[in-house]
């Protein structure tokens, strides 16, 4: 059961973060250097206002927040599994 929950949270988190990046790239500001290999994913995810137009910022922030929370949930599942393995319950 834990493996299924972990995979659902992990895949969901990745999909939401990629969705946030996709929406950011669709609404890229013209006054910012175009998206490329040198673009930093965490900078784009944490500060989308520096890269995307203002009209899509709420959507991008929600996608990034949900993705981050799902990844955090996956880490909690792993931590819980490790803890129960160490304690022996």
Along the 89 residues of the chain, how does pLDDT read in single tens digits? Answer: 789 999 999 999 999 999 999 999 999 988 888 877 777 888 888 899 999 999 999 999 999 999 999 999 999 999 999 999 999 86
- C-alpha–C-alpha distance, residues 85 and 61, integer Å: 36
pLDDT at 40: 85
Q: What is the pLDDT of residue 33?
A: 83
CA-CA distance, 12 to 48, in Å (whole number)? 20
Q: How many CB atoms lie within 10 A of CB 20?
A: 24
């Amino acid at each position: 059961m834990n493996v299924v929950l972990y995979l659902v949270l992990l895949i969901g988190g990745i999909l939401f973060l990629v969705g946030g990046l996709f929406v950011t790239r669709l609404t890229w500001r013209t006054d910012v250097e175009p998206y490329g290999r040198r673009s930093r994913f965490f900078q784009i995810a944490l500060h989308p206002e520096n890269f995307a137009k203002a009209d899509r910022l709420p959507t991008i922030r929600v996608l990034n927040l949900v993705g981050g929370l799902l990844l955090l949930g996956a880490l909690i599942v792993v931590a819980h599994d490790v803890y129960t393995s160490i304690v022996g319950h």
